Amino acid sequence: MKSLFRNIALSLSLVIMVNLLLTAGVSAQNVEDRTVKLNNSALHDEFEREMLRALQANALENQMNAETSFYQKSNAEPMVVGVILHLLKLVFKDAIKTTASVTVKTTAKNITTKLTYHSMVRAVERNVTSAALDNLLSEISSGIKLVQKYDDLDFDSRVMYDPNNKLVVILEKNSNTVISTYTETGNAIETRISNGRLKKATWIFK
C-alpha cells in the first residue's frame, strides 16, 4: 500500500513539474516575442538592453522559485521565517551567493520591497551600494537635481532616476519589486523622455 501511494505521489510530482516547465517556457516565449517586437520597432539603447536582460533573468528566476516551492511542499520541509532586514544592512555581494530574490525593508518608512536576484547582480556589477539604492527609493537625490519618476510605456514598468549620479531603478508596475538597477553610461533616459517613451509620473513609492 505504501508503495502504491509512493508511486501515485511520484506521478503527480512529474505532472506538476511538467506544468511548471511549460509555464516557464510560455513566460520565456513571451519575453522572446517582446524582444523580437522591440527589435523590429525601436532602436537599441542602454535602457532597452537592461530591461531585456532583466525580463529574461526574472523569467528564469520565477521558474526556479516555483520548482523550489514545489520541492519544499512535497518534502514537507518547514518554512523558515526570519526577521526582514533593512536594505541598508544588506551586502549585495553576500546576498547574490544564494541565487534567489531577497525581501527587505526600504526607506525610513520600512517599506517591504523585493529585490530580484538579477537586480542585485547588476548592483554589484555597476558598484551600486545599498545606501545609494535606498536613497533613490526615498527620493533623496545625490545632487541639486531632484529624483525623477516615470512610467515606462514600452515595458509597462516604473522608473526612478537620479540625474545627478545617473542611477536608475526599475520597478514592477504594480508591486514594490526592484527588477533592475544600474548606473547609466549614456543618454538613453533623456532620449526616452524626449520621445515620449518614458512618461513623467507622480506616483509615490510606498
For the domain made up of 87-200, the CATH class stated in words is alpha beta
pLDDT computed for residue 65 by the predictor? 60
Rounded-to-integer distance, Cα 162 and Cα 79, Å: 38
Residue 51 is placed in which grid cell?
530591461
159 bridge partner residues: 150, 170
Strands 111-115 and 102-106: antiparallel
Phi, psi of 203 (to 5 degrees): -65, 160
Long-range contacts of 156-162 (CB under 8 A, 24+ apart): 157/51, 158/201, 158/203, 159/189, 159/198, 160/136, 160/205, 161/189, 162/135, 162/136
Tell me the C-alpha distance between 115 and 14, whole Å: 30
Q: Which of 70, 76, 78, 79 is nearest to 12 (CA)?
A: 70
pLDDT on residue 82: 58
pLDDT of residue 15: 40
Burial class (CB within 10 angstroms; exposed 0-12, middle 13-18, buried 19+) of 169: buried
Task: Give the per-residue pLDDT at 2.
Answer: 41
Per-residue pLDDT of the chain (206 residues; tens, 9 = 90+): 444 334 434 344 434 444 444 444 444 444 444 444 444 444 478 899 898 888 888 888 777 664 433 333 444 444 444 578 999 999 999 999 887 889 999 999 999 999 999 999 999 999 999 999 999 999 999 999 999 999 999 999 999 999 999 999 999 999 999 999 999 998 899 999 999 999 999 999 99
Between CA 112 and CA 88 the distance in angstroms is: 13
| Per-residue pLDDT at 45 | 85
In this structure, is the dihedral angle defined by the CA atoms of residues 116, 183, 39 and 193, taken in order, positive or negative? positive
